[in-house]
Amino acid sequence: MQADHISSLLKTDFEDATVLVEENGGHYHITVVSIQFSDLRTLARQQLVYKVLGEHIANGSIHAVVINAHTPDEWLDQN
Q: Which residues of 19-38 are buried (b: 16+ CB within 10 A; e: fewer)?
A: bebeeeeeebebbbbbebbe
pLDDT, tens digit (0-9, with 9 covering 90-100), for 58-76: 998 888 999 999 999 999 9
pLDDT, tens digit (0-9, with 9 covering 90-100), for 21-33: 999 887 899 999 9
Confidence (pTM): 0.91
